[in-house]
Amino acid sequence: MLTANLIKQFASLKQKKYRLEYSQFLIEGFHLVEECLNSDYELEYIILRSDINLQGHTGILEKIAKNKTIVEPLPEKQFNKLTDTESSQGIVGIVKRNFENTPPQDTGLIIALDRISDPGNLGTIIRTAYWFGVNTIMLSRDCADPYNPKVIRSTQGGIFHTDIVEDADLLTELKRLEATGYEACLFTLDAERYLAELRKDNAVLNSSKSILVFGNESHGISQEIIDAGFRKVKIRGYSQSESLNAAISCAIALYEFTR
């Protein structure tokens, strides 16, 4: 049975400082719970609203029997303290944070995000990266927290299958990876070459040795990275629109680099 103090602790995980303090984060919904159980993350608790059960969810039932995940029911009033959505499915998971924050080595195509601040954008990028088989995403120190509830919902489970390197010094990491044979491609509006033009040079579109770099929604990639001499590229537009959403840009780039 969950104590009042434990419920209070779990509810506090909506805030980043407590996610760090307790090394845990919250997930909501049957899909995310099942995705977590099918990953290397440790699902410590499944908490069910008192009117919900796991009957019919055989995938979840089989996994929790193997993983020894604790399953606890809660009355609706207490359960609602843990939720972050308006129409909850009545299931919440408490997941142990993964702190294996080692710099990427030779892991194939890599995404680097510089100060992406919108949780929805970050979550969509992680989800898109998982779709295209990208194993590693580097986040600069000022990116949104990948374990923010909105980010996690937006990933649709992708966060459990992608290595997230947090608080990276992007300039240092880009230079280090470049020395191992990687090539960084900075997506920036002041680039002279279009993404589609790079297909003429197959060496550039090397999905196993490229780092795709995307910047802040308002300010783009930081000037110190822009000035470091990496290749710059942009996506061709067909209107007077000033810019393209960061997550959409990432999806277009991944399509080009993986097809």
pLDDT tops 90 at residue 86: no
Q: What is the pLDDT of residue 51?
A: 95
Number of C-alpha atoms within 13 angstroms, CB side, residue 213? Answer: 31
What span, in angstroms and rounded, lies between the C-alpha atoms of 255 and 53?
40
What span, in angstroms and rounded, lies between the C-alpha atoms of 184 and 225?
10
Instruction: Report residue 202's pLDDT band, with 50, 70 and 90 as the boundaries.
Output: low
Phi and psi dihedrals of 47, rounded to 5? -115, 125
255 near 129, Cβ under 8 Å?
no
- Residues 87-100 have pLDDT tens digits of 899 999 999 998 76
Closest to 184 (Cα-Cα) out of 198, 165, 204, 202: 204
How confident is the prediction for the chain on average, in pLDDT? 92
- Residues 112-166 have pLDDT tens digits of 999 999 999 999 999 999 999 999 999 999 999 999 999 999 999 999 999 999 9
Side chain identity at 194, as an amino acid letter? Answer: Y
What span, in angstroms and rounded, lies between the C-alpha atoms of 196 and 233?
9
Closest to 22 (Cα-Cα) out of 94, 79, 123: 94
Average pLDDT over residues 214-234: 95
What span, in angstroms and rounded, lies between the C-alpha atoms of 69 and 93?
10
Instruction: Report residue 200's pLDDT band, with 50, 70 and 90 as the boundaries.
Output: low
What span, in angstroms and rounded, lies between the C-alpha atoms of 239 and 254?
22
CATH 3.30.1330.30 boundaries in the chain: 4-96
Side chain identity at 247, as an amino acid letter? Answer: A
CATH 3.40.1280.10 boundaries in the chain: 110-258
Closest to 14 (Cα-Cα) out of 152, 162, 155: 152
* CA gyration radius, the chain: 20
What span, in angstroms and rounded, lies between the C-alpha atoms of 142 and 235?
25
Q: What is the pLDDT of residue 31?
A: 96
136 near 165, Cβ under 8 Å?
yes
The CA–CA distances, whole Å, from 62 to 42, 57, 127 equal: 15, 9, 25
Give me the CATH topology for the region 110-258.
Alpha/beta knot (3.40.1280)
CATH of domain 4-96: 3.30.1330.30
* Residues across the chain: 259
